[in-house]
Chains A and B, each alone.
Chain A
Amino acid sequence: MPTVFDWEKPLVELEAKIQELRSFVYEQGLDFKDELNELERKADKLRKEIYERLTPWQQVRMARHPERPTTADYIKLVFDDFVELHGDRKYGDDQAIIGGIAAFEGEPVTVIGPQKGRDTKENISRNFGLPHPEGYRKALRLMKQAEKFKRPIITLIDVVGAYPGIGAEQRGQGLVIAECIEQMSFLEVPIICIITGEGGSGGALAIGVGDRILMLEHAWYSVISPEMCATILWKDPNRAPEAAELLKLTSTDLLKFGIIDDVITEPLGGAHRDHEGTGRQIKAFLRRYLSEVKKIPTDQLVEQRLERFRKIGHFQAVQLEESRVKL
């Protein structure tokens, strides 16, 4: 049974009704063309109404839809000849991040992204897509390898956060995230980051420093998950929908803030309703932005990447007399 959200129910019911009438028409050989057209029109209108006015919390739910494509799905849909590469060469191979080399329209690229499971069994082996330090170290190793062979890097980001576990802390989760962020910033190859689902805090940023940052329409990206934010603010994770509003975490918000460069529109109803359509969309955006950044000379590429992040922040300079800092 596919997952249906409350707000989709009227649409799903209408779609079922249309389907029913269709098969009835087919079986009985009757002419209900006008009625069907009318219902189709209604469904189209409803679809637009529902999906173009999603609340931030509904967007978060869409990003977590169990049938939403995972990183492995996108790799199949967007790239050819993927060869997966394993291990960080130091400790282990983290199944929660996959990476390797693939061809994008004939050209080799390095692709990296956190991987959620499709079912319970896979989720356990993938640690629910929550990476350990060795996952980030693998990502960094593959990115440096890409730099050596002058391959562009594409990161596909769908992660609620870095894993908060004992071993993860013991092996330097914070430290490795810092290293990833710093070293990725100076890599002398084009980097395109696509937030495909969840962009959860430092665990996402660790593979999110790029020359172009794109985001799928129903993805979210924030400093903290809405549940965690609600817990801190009101000691109540059930108020996550309110927190989602406050955090301004939707693709529309982030485009407005200039944090991302573009929003990749999803097929109406979300990526989970049409994997192939979503893959085609990503391909089109990737083609455009990759050819754009490939034209930038290497020294300028890194300089522009650093400049992009250097500018981020909102603050105000004050006169010395107004400052609290008095010697």
Chain B
Amino acid sequence: MLRVFRSKPKYATVRSSAPDGERRDGDPLWVRCDSCSSLIYKKELHKTLYVCSHCGFHFRMSAWERLRMLVDENSFQPAEPLVSVNPLGFPGYEEKIAQSQEALQLDDGILIGEAKIQGHSCVLGIIDFGFIGGSMGSVVGEQITRGFEYGIDKQLPVVIISGGGGGARMQEGIFSLMQMAKTAQAVGRFSKAGLFYLSVLTHPTMGGVYASFASLGDIILAEPKALIGFAGPRIVAETTRQQLPPDFQTAEYALKNGMIDGIVPRSELKDTIGKLLSFHL
């Protein structure tokens, strides 16, 4: 039996440039860039759309921040609110949800609804990494599915901004896994209706999210250096005991290997999405 998951790894490969989001060192004014280690004034970070002005590293953004960045003012109409239950009675799950809801002002890991981007109506879903790693439980799966169904109903394109570290939401066990099938099928139905689905992968898009709806876009875009893949890099390093390529599982690696259509810097994302929506009227 191959031991895929070793208790004590011989080594763990963590790239020094591994993007890890905004560090909360407690400093109210400054953050350190995870990529180039420069100190950045926090207020400046807001202005640069959370992109490091020294090296161009894209910090993670909350779903609300991203919504503000992408949609036309006052155009967002949120979907019917759904909240998670604890189907397996998993210990500590309710508390985790309550904390994330409070911290992010979200009902669950996705902010979704109808919106306009540069005047084009669409269904827009944004996954927030901060909500239990941006994982897909029943609520995220159901909201995405409903989003595609609403798109078919109203003949609207769908844009989903993914960013989920673990992919599946372990605390919901098999129900979480089945959301992969549910969302993939929703994309399939939507696609057969001849409608346009744009998938945007942000840091990090992994596991069950990547292995379902996020991979099934008519067009797949990614933000620079976003981690994209199925298995986490540490698992790959531990399993294979090989040195990982320096750009392993980055957006650039995915592009080079033919897995995505393009990489779009955050400053150009809204324009690019607007343009693509205008081609699919």
Residue positions of A touching B, CB distance < 8 A: 64, 66, 123, 128, 130, 160-166, 168-175, 177-179, 181-183, 185-186, 201-202, 205-206, 209, 221-225, 227-229, 231-232, 236-238, 246-249, 253-254, 257, 259, 306, 309-310, 312-320, 322-327
Residue positions of B touching A, CB distance < 8 A: 1-2, 4-7, 74, 76, 78, 80-85, 87-88, 90-91, 101-102, 104-107, 111, 138-139, 141-142, 145, 166-170, 172-182, 184-185, 187-189, 192, 206-208, 210-216, 228-232, 235-236, 239-240, 242, 244-245, 248-249, 253, 257-259
Known: A202-B207, A318-B82. Is A325-B106 also a contact (CB below 8 A)?
yes
Of the candidates A172, A185, A227, the one whose C-beta lies within 8 Å of that of B185 is A185
Check A310 against B145 for contact (C-beta < 8 Å): yes
Complex CA–CA separation, A206 to B212 (angstroms): 10
Minimum CB–CB distance from B23 to chain A (whole Å) comes to 21
Of the candidates B81, B213, B230, the one whose C-beta lies within 8 Å of that of A323 is B81
Q: Would you mind naming 24 contact pairs between A and B with Cβ atoms under 8 Å apart?
A: A166-B248, A168-B230, A172-B257, A173-B211, A173-B231, A174-B215, A175-B210, A175-B215, A178-B213, A185-B188, A223-B177, A227-B5, A238-B7, A247-B88, A247-B174, A309-B178, A309-B182, A313-B142, A314-B138, A314-B172, A318-B81, A318-B82, A325-B105, A327-B76
Check A322 against B81 for contact (C-beta < 8 Å): yes
A246: B residues at CB distance < 8 A: 88, 90-91, 173
Check B78 against A325 for contact (C-beta < 8 Å): yes
Nearest-CB residue, chain A, relative to B102: A324
Nearest-CB residue, chain A, relative to B181: A309
Check A324 against B101 for contact (C-beta < 8 Å): yes
Of the candidates A128, A166, A236, the one whose C-beta lies within 8 Å of that of B244 is A166
A222: B residues at CB distance < 8 A: 173-174, 177
Known: A172-B257, A309-B182, A313-B182. Is A182-B216 also a contact (CB below 8 A)?
yes
Check A128 against B257 for contact (C-beta < 8 Å): no
Complex CA–CA separation, A138 to B103 (angstroms): 45
Check A312 against B178 for contact (C-beta < 8 Å): yes
Complex CA–CA separation, A186 to B242 (angstroms): 38
Check B81 against A317 for contact (C-beta < 8 Å): yes
Minimum CB–CB distance from A25 to chain B (whole Å) comes to 40
Check A169 against B231 for contact (C-beta < 8 Å): yes
A326: B residues at CB distance < 8 A: 105
A247: B residues at CB distance < 8 A: 88, 170, 173-174
